[in-house]
């Protein structure tokens, strides 16, 4: 039984001019005589026969009248030539793109998130990556996300980072927000801070507050070797905070969230920031750090805590409760500033289950 679903894809495209030349030989006509019969120039007929010019619908009708071969015959030859040429060109382009596609070692991570289809061969993977990024060439991806790679002082996988950012972009586009209003952002900061004590449904409350002021918050699992903590950027007129959910320790989660919020609130003007592990920080990164730290724990309160003796877990717990924040946030800051050791606080850091 013949499988009618199989199709033949030739690896060369035959221009209809070759068939026209064969037809003229069969009929014993010269190009000059055909020109006289059709009113076409000798040059144009020569260019068709030599594969330079196409046979247009108008020309096919002229050929039908002059030599009797149906216009549909010439039209179909031209259509087949155009389709085959386009397919061959596309396949050659995909072959060139495969080397670029192999740099995206995060392909399986994208599959796991449902962002991209599973594939075995690199041709299919390449086509899937092109669709995922919405680009004509994967070489354009780093140009699209160039801001993500500025001021890098460490080694990380730029291709995986670009994929992580794209996941956030696609998710953010699904979220409807009110028009961005920086004045309203300032107004909701106290309400956002209350969520750091993890009341029931804090994830959905966080999202609702942010969308009400024009900010979309998206959560994307960590991609290997990206070293990314979060990002703050603009997609159209919408501000977007993208958070890495790796580990989801509450102190890291909330500091990162308010750090990214700080970028939006302080730096606005539709700048883009990707915050990853790095040794040196520019002024805007330092400003966002200070905004996060001071929003979570006011400078005066923090100094009072540092002056308390003895400074133990019970004291920190009481302090955190009195300020309406989770103890993990206080312990994480103390450890980060070398006021406590990480191994001393590890058992008391809370892990979050993010439910937007």
Question: pLDDT at position 279, please?
Answer: 53
CB 35 within 8 A of CB 42: yes
Could you say which of 37, 71, 97 is where a domain stops? Answer: 97
217 and 327 in a common domain: yes
Rounded CA separation 339/293 (Å): 15
CB 304 within 8 A of CB 321: no
For 55-88, b/e burial (b = at least 16 CB within 10 A) is beeebbebbbebbebebebbbebbeebeebeeee
134 and 263 in a common domain: no
190 and 108 in a common domain: no
- Count up the domains in the chain and report the number: 3
Structure tokens at 53: 């010019």
301 and 235 in a common domain: yes
Rounded CA separation 247/238 (Å): 28
Rounded CA separation 159/260 (Å): 22
Sheet with 273-276: strands ordered across? 215-220, 238-244, 228-235, 273-276
75 and 184 in a common domain: no
Task: Residue 90: name the closest of 159, 11, 200, 188 by CA.
Answer: 11
- The verdict on residue 166 lying in a domain is no
251 and 121 in a common domain: no
Helices (H) and strands (E) in the chain, counts: 17, 4
260 and 188 in a common domain: yes
128 and 195 in a common domain: no
Rounded CA separation 261/291 (Å): 9
- The verdict on residue 131 lying in a domain is yes
- The verdict on residue 191 lying in a domain is yes
Half-sphere exposure of 343 (CA within 13 A, CB side): 0
- The verdict on residue 118 lying in a domain is yes
Please provide the DSSP assignment of 231-269 as one string.
EEEEETTEEEEEEE-SS-BHHHHHHHHHHHHHIIIII-T
Question: pLDDT at position 276, please?
Answer: 67
Question: pLDDT at position 348, please?
Answer: 75
Rounded CA separation 353/246 (Å): 11
Half-sphere exposure of 296 (CA within 13 A, CB side): 30
Per-residue pLDDT of the chain (356 residues; tens, 9 = 90+): 444 444 556 678 999 999 999 999 999 999 999 999 999 999 999 999 999 999 999 999 999 999 999 999 999 999 999 999 998 888 888 888 999 999 999 999 999 999 999 999 999 999 999 999 999 899 888 655 544 444 444 567 889 989 999 999 999 999 999 999 999 999 999 999 999 988 888 888 999 999 999 999 999 988 988 888 889 999 888 999 999 876 678 888 999 999 999 999 998 767 788 776 655 677 888 999 999 999 999 999 999 999 988 888 899 999 999 999 999 999 999 988 988 888 777 777 777 776 55
For residue 303, CA distances in Å to 190, 293, 334, 339 come to 21, 12, 11, 12
67 and 20 in a common domain: yes
111 and 22 in a common domain: no
Please provide the DSSP assignment of 298-342 as one string.
-HHHHHHHHT-SS--HHHHHHHHHHHTS-HHHHHHHHHHTTSS-H
pTM over 0.85: no
- The verdict on residue 157 lying in a domain is no
- The verdict on residue 5 lying in a domain is no
CATH of the domain at 59: 1.10.260.40
Structure tokens at 170: 């696609």
Q: Which domain holds residue 213?
A: 177-348
Burial (CB count <10 Å: 0-12, 13-18, 19+), residue 307: exposed
Structure tokens at 88: 């061959």
- The verdict on residue 194 lying in a domain is yes
Could you say which of 42, 63, 97 is where a domain stops? Answer: 97
Rounded CA separation 247/250 (Å): 9
320 and 202 in a common domain: yes
* DSSP state letter for 279: S
327 and 190 in a common domain: yes
- The verdict on residue 169 lying in a domain is no
């Amino acid at each position: 039984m013949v499988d009618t679903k199989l199709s033949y894809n030739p690896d060369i495209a035959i221009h209809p001019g070759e068939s026209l030349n064969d037809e003229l030989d069969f009929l014993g006509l010269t190009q000059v005589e055909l020109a006289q019969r059709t009113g076409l120039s000798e040059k144009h007929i020569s260019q068709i026969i030599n594969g330079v010019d196409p046979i247009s619908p108008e020309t096919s009708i002229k050929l039908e009248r002059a030599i009797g071969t149906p216009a549909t015959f010439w039209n179909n030859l031209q259509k087949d030539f155009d389709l085959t040429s386009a397919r061959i060109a596309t396949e050659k382009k995909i072959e060139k793109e495969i080397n670029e596609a192999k740099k995206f070692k995060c392909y399986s991570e994208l599959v796991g998130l449902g962002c991209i289809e599973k594939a075995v061969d690199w041709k299919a993977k390449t086509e899937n990556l092109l669709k995922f990024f919405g680009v004509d060439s994967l070489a354009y991806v780093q140009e699209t996300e160039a801001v993500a790679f500025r001021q890098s002082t460490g080694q990380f996988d730029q291709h995986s980072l670009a994929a992580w950012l794209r996941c956030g972009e696609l998710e953010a586009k699904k979220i409807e927000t009110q028009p961005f209003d920086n004045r309203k952002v300032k107004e909701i900061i106290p309400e956002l801070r209350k969520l750091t004590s993890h009341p029931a449904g804090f994830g959905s409350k966080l999202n609702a507050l942010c969308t009400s002021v024009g900010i979309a918050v998206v959560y994307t699992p960590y991609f290997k070797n990206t070293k990314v903590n979060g990002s703050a950027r603009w997609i159209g007129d919408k501000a977007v905070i993208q958070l890495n959910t790796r580990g989801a320790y509450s102190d890291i989660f909330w500091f990162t969230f308010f750090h990214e919020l700080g970028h939006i609130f302080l730096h606005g003007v539709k700048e883009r920031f990707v915050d990853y592990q790095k040794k040196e920080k520019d002024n805007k990164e330092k400003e966002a750090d200070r905004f996060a730290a001071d929003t979570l724990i006011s400078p005066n309160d923090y100094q009072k805590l540092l002056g308390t003796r003895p400074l133990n877990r019970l004291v920190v717990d009481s302090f955190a409760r009195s300020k309406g924040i989770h103890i993990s946030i206080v312990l994480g800051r103390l450890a980060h500033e070398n006021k406590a050791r990480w191994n001393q606080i590890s058992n008391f850091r809370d892990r979050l289950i993010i439910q937007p």
